[in-house]
């Protein structure tokens, strides 16, 4: 049974030149304890799709249709007060930039305690102990002393650990990690992902991992949604996708490699479209090596192809 289910989500934006649709019929699901990775180039709709779960969209965004069902509740039918009982407490966000995610004017302890008091109703020593335990779980040494530190005294990796500790302190059941390792060096990236794996297993958490790093995906995800131009173009288990990718865009992503012997980078030709571009047919067809005439006219539907789901006319 799905713990989270996003069904036929459509989102658009009111821009200066009119309304533009950004997310097209996006659907995915997540079971308890599962990790779903959402991958694709910048601007493909990964973050907008997942921020709609928390209702943290820009003011000019409009959710046109769809459902977001979490623990049998359609989140799109809840008001802001009801969402505040879920946001942070049941669903936690690890944002993209740990450098700007913490208030520089308050100590780490102040910020942790504020969240614990808000979502758990604890105060005093009881709240302090919960905060220290959360920091210890993410392997921050001398956790009690670190409660007195300010964010500028922490490295990027330590700040990211604090944000994960906040999710643990609130006993979140679902964590949305938006490019959680982007601003960190390779060694720290590995440490952060190891912590996420450990707490996910220990507390049976569900995880949505937004990333462009397919190496991280291969090691951590159970299933993958590949997005392009606001659509899911392939949806499959991680083993199935890496073994036998179906969509030309997925194949191109897997082929983007750097040859360290020649300094040659294999890239995808062209640029992904913006929401203001008016492309007929499949949005990937201007960059696709398998483009056929039908691709320039009709948008392919996401349908079952062997053990995957793919939106491509190659399988009509």
pLDDT single digits (tens) 13-25: 999 989 999 999 9
> At 14, which helix (H) or strand (E)?
strand 4-15
pLDDT score of 213? 84
Whole-angstrom distance, CA of residue 110 vs CA of residue 120: 15
- The pLDDT value given to residue 229: 95
What is the three-class DSSP state of 193? helix
CA 299 to chain CA centroid, nearest Å:
25
Question: What is the spatial distance between Cα 163 and Cα 99, in angstroms, rounded to a whole number?
Answer: 11
Write down the pTM of the prediction.
0.90
Tell me, what's the pLDDT at 1? 61
- pLDDT of 39: 94
Q: Which residues in the chain come in under a pLDDT of 70? A: 1, 98, 183, 257-266
Determine which helix (DSSP H) or strand (DSSP E) holds 249, and give its type and residue range: helix 248-254
Q: What is the pLDDT of residue 4?
A: 95
Q: Are 192 and 184 in contact (CB under 8 A)?
A: yes
Q: What are the tokens at 207? A: 């995880």
Alpha-carbon gap, residue 120 to 133, rounded angstroms: 15
pLDDT at 266 (0 to 100) = 67
Beta strand residue intervals within 80-156, DSSP E? 91-94
pLDDT of residue 98: 67
Cα distance from N-terminal residue to C-terminal residue, the chain: 30
- For residue 21 the two structure tokens come to 């649709």
The per-residue pLDDT for 184 is 74
Q: Hey, what are 65's tokens?
A: 């249709």
Provide long-range contacts, Cβ within 8 A and 24+ apart, for 214-223: 214/39, 214/253, 214/254, 216/37, 216/181, 216/189, 217/37, 217/39, 218/242, 219/193, 220/35, 220/37, 220/193, 220/196, 221/35, 221/36, 221/37, 222/34, 222/35, 222/36, 223/34, 223/35, 223/36, 223/37
How confident is the model over 126-169, as pLDDT tens digits? Answer: 999 999 999 998 899 999 999 999 999 998 888 888 988 888 88
């Amino acid at each position: 049974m799905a713990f989270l289910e996003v069904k036929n989500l459509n989102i658009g934006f009111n821009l200066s030149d009119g309304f533009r649709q950004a997310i097209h019929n996006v659907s995915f699901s997540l079971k308890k304890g599962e990790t779903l990775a959402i991958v694709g180039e910048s601007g493909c709709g990964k973050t907008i799709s997942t921020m709609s779960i928390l209702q943290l969209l820009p003011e000019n965004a409009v959710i046109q249709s769809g459902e977001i069902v979490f623990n049998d509740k359609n989140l799109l039918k809840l008001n802001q007060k009801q969402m505040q009982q879920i946001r942070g407490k049941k669903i936690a966000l690890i944002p993209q930039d740990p450098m700007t995610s913490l208030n520089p004017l308050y100590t780490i302890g102040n910020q942790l305690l504020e969240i614990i008091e808000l979502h758990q109703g604890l105060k005093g020593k009881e709240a302090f102990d919960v905060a220290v335990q959360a920091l210890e779980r993410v392997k921050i040494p001398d956790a009690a002393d670190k409660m007195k530190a300010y964010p500028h005294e922490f490295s990027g990796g330590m700040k990211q650990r604090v944000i994960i500790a906040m999710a643990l302190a609130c006993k979140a059941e679902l964590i949305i990690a938006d490019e959680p390792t982007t601003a960190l060096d390779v060694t720290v990236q590995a440490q952060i992902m190891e912590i996420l794996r450990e707490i996910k297993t220990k507390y049976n958490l569900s995880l949505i991992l937004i990333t462009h790093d397919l190496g991280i995906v291969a090691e951590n995800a159970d299933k993958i949604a590949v997005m392009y131009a606001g659509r899911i173009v392939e949806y499959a288990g991680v083993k199935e996708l890496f073994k036998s990718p179906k969509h030309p865009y997925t194949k191109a992503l897997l082929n983007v490699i750097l040859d360290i012997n020649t300094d040659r980078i294999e890239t995808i030709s062209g640029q992904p479209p913006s929401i203001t571009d008016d492309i007929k047919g499949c949005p990937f067809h201007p960059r696709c090596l398998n483009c056929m005439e039908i691709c320039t006219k009709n948008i392919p539907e996401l349908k079952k192809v062997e053990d995957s789901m793919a939106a491509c006319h190659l399988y009509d």
